[in-house]
A and B are shown apart, each in its own frame.
Chain A
Amino acid sequence: MKSFTILIVDDSAAMRSLLVSTLETLGNLAIVQAPNGFEALRMLPREQVDLVLTDINMPDINGLELLSFIRNNPIYKDVPVVVISTEGSRKDIEKGLSLGANEYLVKPFQPEQLLEIVKRFL
């Protein structure tokens, strides 16, 4: 059986490794990482992604734009997306939800909050 693949999109390496080490506690997961939206666009067709965790504020293309792309693309439109953002960008988070984000997480969050959300999609 193919393991559940999570794509993490964040321009912060420290943040990505924090997410990875938190998620690894769930066991049997394949985790792929993209340091920016471009790389995420490239990974989507290559990896069979089951869940996307994306930051909003990134250079070039941001998390909302990535989300919009996923929702408008017949191939990926059903992939669940969790938007992760720092408090203060609440308007952007609302926008994310209206664009079709399945969940949002506001930084700083506890590892358990992340795990609880991710478990819902496993």
Chain B
Amino acid sequence: MSSSSVPSSDAARDFLAEAEEIVEELGTQLADLADMAEKGTLEPDLLNAIFRGAHSLKGLAGMFGFGMIAEVAHHAENLLDWLRMGKVSLTTEVLELLFASAELLTSLLRACVDGTLDQHQAAATAHAAAISAYLNPTAPTVEIPLLEQLGLSESLMGALTEYEEHRLKENCSKGRHIYVVHASFELATFDQGLSQVTDILKSHGEVISTLPSVGENMETHIDFDLLAGSDRNEQEFAALLKDLDVSIQVAGSAGAVSQSEPAPVSAPAVPEVEAAAIFPDKAGIPVKLPVLEGATASPDEPLTAKSMSRTVRVDIGKLDELMNIVGELVLAHSSISSIANRMRAEGFSRMAIDLGKAAKGLERRLTDLQKGVMDIRMIPVGQLYEKMSRIVRKVSREQGKKIELKMYGAETELDKLIVEDIADPLMHIIRNAIDHGIESPERRLAAGKDERGTVRLSSFQKGNHVVIEVEDDGGGIDIEKIKQKALSKGVVQDIGGMTDREALDLIFMPGFSTADTITDISGRGVGMDVVRNNIAAVSGMVDIETRLGQGSRFTIVLPITLAIIKALIIFCAGRTYAVPITSVVESLILEPADIKTVEGKEVINLRDQTLPLLRLERLFKIDRIGSNPGDQYVVIVGSAEKRLGLVVDDLLGQQDIVIKPLGTAFKALRGISGAADLGDQRTILVLDAGGIIGETMRSGGA
């Protein structure tokens, strides 16, 4: 189940995994940046983090021999560097360039996997040119405050990067006070103590640099000098840190630091801070502030070798393997259970009961294990939301439409593989909603709607499924127009008596498009047929509801995971099969009298709908031994919007199965997605509802 197109070398895989992570993060951070820009607040830390992302990507790509990616990252990095250094300002155009960079990098990474990197050379060149146009030296920058006047120690100044120097200047020119906070922490837990201090400093200003230094107890402790800028005067500043064991020094004459002001009455416990310039001779007298219990690490705590990073990156293939083993264990358990049952039936009652109990205990643990492995694969769909909000931003900008994207249920969890596979179809549905659904602001106003259109993206879990809905309040789908289009394109020959639902289904036909001009916003014109196929590939279904003038709703129903699935075990003509429960709509007892024949095809009428029937033995060309199968059942399966009734002899119940591929020799086989082991050493075929329906439609029915 692991993807096969990833380059074989481990190094390249490492690179791709990390690069993907960086680019994804970049997208999220850019969205945050855009929000901030809208509000007029700009967080230098965020900008610097974005810069660092581009910078790391450039370095990585260069090292791993992906020159084009390094080049694109380099240009993005340049633009970001100018931004963070205050040489260009964050205009809408610059933001768009940054978004475009992130998108280009995403497609380049994808191209690495597909081996189609060469095709993007033109895009990369255009990107470079677009950015270079922005990086023209502008008017000389504002007068730079003389950092020497701050009287900071050489060791502190010497370790400042170019960017940190810039931030120091910025803080000075904003008239902020510059402080050096000195703190000493136990080696084992310094990061906790340090973050306590930085959190306070950041909420009242900015931490410009964190310099580890050497203190009195250098064997057991590590000291830090934190260079910070803040609007607070020294008394206020000291009050902020009064609970921590730190000393504060005020840097020279950066602004109007009044040294004679009395300590504020509100903080009587704080001794007056003696301000002093921090010359290398450390003439300043640091004031030891009162220590609060628990503020520093307990000295008893042992040194720890634990890594600070709490995450592990795992190839999903390894999880698949693990899941397979869990699946095997589940099967082994079922055979133990059935042995226990047989023993009980044959009269070994005492041992049978003990064995049964042991098997129950095993089952509970197995369930935990299975859930544990599943949980690792699960990621919140919120990760998709971030991508989607970027796309909405981009498309609405391009189309001059005003759109509000409302997102719900970002915490809903879904298998990582499904999340990845669903990203493209979801993107196309959302693009369609903006492109064809939401009207222009003028038309919306004329129709008495808010000029700002709304796209609602919501996800929730429903039993063993996750439902993702995309709803817009646009113009809805004109069913008459669809019918006419289908007729003129020759997709159908006759539209007489076609129901609305059937007409809507036409949208999913290959080569169908209702837009008068095909807008190729995605860079590749992908039709809804591809969207449906992609969703069906992860055993999902998609449905449309629409109301003319009021909007449309696309509902995607997905299984939570593909690793272990629940299946309905069916029996037909002497053979056993599994049907993934996600494809089963319902099942019912077949009354032979209900079967009607339309154009030689068997159908039944179900709640005023005609449901075509398929006899499995005919599909697989199996001779039935004995003529009368007795009572039969209809298992109604669905793929996308299509429904089909499978006629089977018996329903054997539900079971968790692990689908195993049949191998390339059977690849051409339609209607079977793989094989699965039942607990009793039997291997059965797993039916692929989408394939069977497709096959049936193609061959003109059962």
B194 — which chain A residues lie within 8 A by C-beta?
A: 38
**Any chain A CB within 8 A of the CB of B320?**
no
B209 — which chain A residues lie within 8 A by C-beta?
A: 65
A11 — which chain B residues lie within 8 A by C-beta?
A: 56
In the complex, which residue of chain A has the Cβ closest to the Cβ of B304?
A: A42
B56 — which chain A residues lie within 8 A by C-beta?
A: 11-12, 57
**Any chain B CB within 8 A of the CB of A99?**
yes
A64 touches B17 (CB 8 A): no
A115 to chain B, nearest CB (A): 15
Task: Give the distance in Å from the alpha carbon of A74 to the alpha carbon of B218 in the complex.
Answer: 9
Secondary structure dominating the interface of A? helix
Q: Residue among B18, B77, B159, B303 with the most chain A CB within 10 A?
A: B159
A122 to chain B, nearest CB (A): 23
**Any chain A CB within 8 A of the CB of B495?**
no
B308 touches A15 (CB 8 A): no
Cβ-defined partner of A72 (8 Å) among B17, B49, B161, B214 = B214
A87 — which chain B residues lie within 8 A by C-beta?
A: 62
Chain B 272-314 interface 0/1 with A at a Cβ cutoff of 8 Å (1 = within): 0000000000000000000000000000000101011100010
Cβ-defined partner of A39 (8 Å) among B59, B212, B307 = B307
B159 touches A38 (CB 8 A): no
B64 — which chain A residues lie within 8 A by C-beta?
A: 14, 18
**Any chain A CB within 8 A of the CB of B191?**
yes
A65 touches B159 (CB 8 A): yes
Task: Give the distance in Å from the alpha carbon of A72 to the alpha carbon of B70 in the complex.
Answer: 35
A99 touches B18 (CB 8 A): no
A56 — which chain B residues lie within 8 A by C-beta?
A: 161
Q: Which of A1-9, A23-31, A88-96 contacts B (4 or more CB under 8 A)?
A: A88-96
Known: A14-B17, A38-B308. A86 touches B212 (CB 8 A): no
**Any chain B CB within 8 A of the CB of A117?**
no
In the complex, which residue of chain B has the Cβ closest to the Cβ of A35?
A: B309
B165 to chain A, nearest CB (A): 9
Cβ-defined partner of B18 (8 Å) among A12, A42, A68 = A12
Secondary structure dominating the interface of B? helix
A61 — which chain B residues lie within 8 A by C-beta?
A: 210-212
A102 — which chain B residues lie within 8 A by C-beta?
A: none
Number of interface residues of B (CB under 8 A): 48
Task: Give the distance in Å from the alpha carbon of A12 to the alpha carbon of B159 in the complex.
Answer: 22
Q: Residue among A15, A59, A99 with the most chain B CB within 10 A?
A: A15
Chain A 100-121 interface 0/1 with B at a Cβ cutoff of 8 Å (1 = within): 0000000111000000000000
A68 touches B63 (CB 8 A): no
B594 to chain A, nearest CB (A): 62
Known: A13-B18, A64-B159. A18 touches B313 (CB 8 A): no
Known: A60-B210, A107-B62. A88 touches B305 (CB 8 A): no
B158 touches A41 (CB 8 A): no
**Any chain A CB within 8 A of the CB of B512?**
no
Known: A45-B219, A108-B62, A108-B63. A14 touches B14 (CB 8 A): yes
Task: Give the distance in Å from the alpha carbon of A41 to the alpha carbon of B662 in the complex.
Answer: 53
B17 touches A68 (CB 8 A): no
A5 to chain B, nearest CB (A): 15
**Any chain A CB within 8 A of the CB of B162?**
yes
**Any chain B CB within 8 A of the CB of A53?**
no
**Any chain A CB within 8 A of the CB of B518?**
no
A73 — which chain B residues lie within 8 A by C-beta?
A: 214, 218
B62 — which chain A residues lie within 8 A by C-beta?
A: 86-87, 107-108
B65 — which chain A residues lie within 8 A by C-beta?
A: 108
In the complex, which residue of chain A has the Cβ closest to the Cβ of B17?
A: A14
Task: Give the distance in Å from the alpha carbon of A86 to the alpha carbon of B81 in the complex.
Answer: 14
B14 touches A17 (CB 8 A): yes
**Any chain B CB within 8 A of the CB of A51?**
no
Interface hits, A44-85 → B, CB 8 Å: 45-46, 56-57, 59-62, 64-69, 72-75, 85
B11 touches A18 (CB 8 A): yes
A15 touches B218 (CB 8 A): no
Task: Give the distance in Å from the alpha carbon of A38 to the alpha carbon of B211 in the complex.
Answer: 11
Give 7 new A-B contacts, CB below 8 A, not counting A86-B62, A95-B159. A13-B313, A14-B64, A21-B11, A36-B309, A38-B190, A65-B159, A85-B59
The 7 closest A-B CB pairs, nearest first, are A108-B62, A86-B59, A68-B159, A69-B212, A14-B14, A14-B18, A107-B59
Which of B's residues lie within 8 Å of A, judged by CB? 11, 14-15, 17-19, 49, 52, 55-56, 58-60, 62-65, 70, 74, 77-78, 81, 155, 158-162, 187-188, 190-191, 194, 209-214, 218-219, 222, 303, 305, 307-309, 313
Which of A's residues lie within 8 Å of B, judged by CB? 11-15, 17-18, 21, 35-39, 41-42, 45-46, 56-57, 59-62, 64-69, 72-75, 85-89, 91-92, 95, 98-99, 107-109
Question: Can you list 14 A-B pairs, Cβ within 8 angstroms, ordered by A?
Answer: A12-B18, A12-B56, A14-B14, A14-B18, A36-B309, A46-B303, A68-B158, A89-B161, A92-B161, A92-B162, A99-B158, A107-B63, A108-B65, A109-B63
